[in-house]
């Protein structure tokens, strides 16, 4: 095992509403692998290896001892520019049997859409020798396409009902930055959470099915740029999204509901000045469960369901920060965020992804030219 990236780090805390935390464990990070180019997402293979995406357009397997495998063959064309590229990846819940996975990426346009791009979701099978993707199928492509290198969103979650997959996927979509008004347009995929079946079809119980004025893939709307999404222990979908200058939000998207962007926000324009009417509340629009002012630029999120970090951490939501180069732990009580805690405040690396592994430890990807896969361990 490579040497520890840091010694056990002291934890600083920030209480909300007077809430106090029990003592947190001493945390340290171990380097599992390094030399990854702007890694974006990871998945845990059943044999103990890691599947990692790199934003420039590569997907590769990382061995348990940290060795990087060659890029997998078979990926579609990826437009890697600005914030775009090869982004999220998740394994099918039945991967051990079917070797199916799902990934999303920045899809370049062609023909009449040449020069434009969108966020796309595809399925594929990992070959038996784990060298390539097979049976690649486009499941969804965001419309309309625009010429933009910003706000692709692109987090994938397999939905579960009563602990079992219901055969559908959530995909979080950004509003492509300057096209922010599209987040309120129900005949556009921008700034939405969409829900589709694993074959790309539209589930009949989606909230806007049958409405002539809305696209049927839409689950919720009024989002800005989602960079984290996960299922809570009770099976509900949680996500976070970047605000503009301040106003990053944690939301629990429910079917058919409007989460407000850009009509309401706790942020402001870059450089100052109100967005729209400069209001934070409006009838018919949902309030965030938690928000950050100033911004932390959240990315990646995971619920802690293991006992690795002690009883006080179990059920917590852990969020990565690109801007502040640390983690934040949110405590959840009765579906509400009641306190936050700064974790690994001296990590010193942009955190792009956060996942809980099969071993119960948290794993991080750091966003850099020489990015790392880290394991977060704890001692009492």
Whole-angstrom distance, CA of residue 357 vs CA of residue 276: 42
Whole-angstrom distance, CA of residue 344 vs CA of residue 186: 40
139 close to 122: Cβ distance less than 8 angstroms: yes
Q: Looking at the DSSP assignment, which residues form a beta bridge with residue 327?
A: 320, 343
Collect all residues with Cβ–Cβ distance below 8 Å to 234 and sequence separation of at least 6. none
Whole-angstrom distance, CA of residue 364 vs CA of residue 351: 7
Collect all residues with Cβ–Cβ distance below 8 Å to 250 and sequence separation of at least 6. 238, 239, 240, 288, 289, 290, 291, 317, 319, 330, 337
Q: Strand 39-44's sheet: what is its strand order? A: 39-44, 50-54, 58-62
Whole-angstrom distance, CA of residue 39 vs CA of residue 372: 8
Catalytic site positions: 151
Q: How many residues can be counted in the chain?
A: 380
């Amino acid at each position: 095992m490579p040497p520890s990236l840091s010694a056990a780090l002291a934890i600083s805390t920030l209480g909300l509403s007077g809430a106090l935390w029990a003592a947190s464990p001493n945390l340290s990070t171990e380097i599992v692998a390094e030399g990854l180019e702007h890694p974006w997402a990871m998945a845990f293979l059943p044999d103990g290896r890691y599947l990692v995406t790199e934003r420039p357009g590569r997907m590769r397997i990382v061995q348990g001892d940290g060795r990087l495998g060659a890029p997998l063959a078979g990926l579609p064309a990826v437009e890697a520019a600005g914030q775009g590229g090869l982004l999220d990846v998740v394994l099918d819940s039945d991967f051990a049997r079917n070797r199916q996975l799902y990934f999303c990426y920045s899809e370049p346009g062609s023909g009449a859409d040449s020069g434009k791009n969108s966020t796309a979701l595809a399925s594929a099978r990992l070959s038996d020798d784990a060298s390539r993707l097979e049976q690649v199928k486009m499941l969804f492509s965001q419309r309309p396409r625009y010429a933009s290198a910003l706000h692709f969103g692109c987090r994938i979650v397999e939905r579960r009902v009563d602990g079992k997959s219901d055969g559908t996927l959530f995909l979080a979509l950004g509003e492509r930055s300057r096209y922010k008004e599209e987040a309120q347009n129900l005949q556009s995929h921008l700034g939405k959470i969409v829900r589709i079946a694993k074959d790309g079809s539209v589930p009949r119980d989606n909230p806007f099915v049958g409405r002539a004025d809305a696209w049927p893939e839409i689950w919720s709307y009024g989002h800005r740029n989602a960079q984290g999404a996960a299922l809570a222990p009770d099976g509900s979908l949680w996500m976070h999204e970047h605000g503009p200058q301040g106003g990053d939000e944690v939301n629990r998207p429910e079917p058919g509901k409007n989460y407000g962007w850009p009509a309401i926000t706790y942020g402001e324009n870059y450089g100052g000045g109100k967005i729209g009417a400069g209001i934070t509340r409006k009838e018919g629009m949902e309030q965030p469960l938690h928000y950050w002012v100033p911004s932390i630029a959240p990315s990646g999120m995971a619920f802690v369901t293991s006992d690795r970090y002690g009883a006080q951490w179990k059920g917590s939501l852990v969020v990565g920060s690109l801007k502040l180069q640390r983690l934040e732990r949110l405590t959840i009580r009765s579906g509400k965020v009641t306190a936050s805690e700064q974790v690994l405040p001296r990590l010193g690396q942009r955190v792009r992804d956060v996942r809980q592994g099969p071993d119960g430890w948290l794993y991080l990807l750091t966003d850099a030219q020489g990015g790392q896969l880290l394991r977060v361990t704890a001692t009492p």
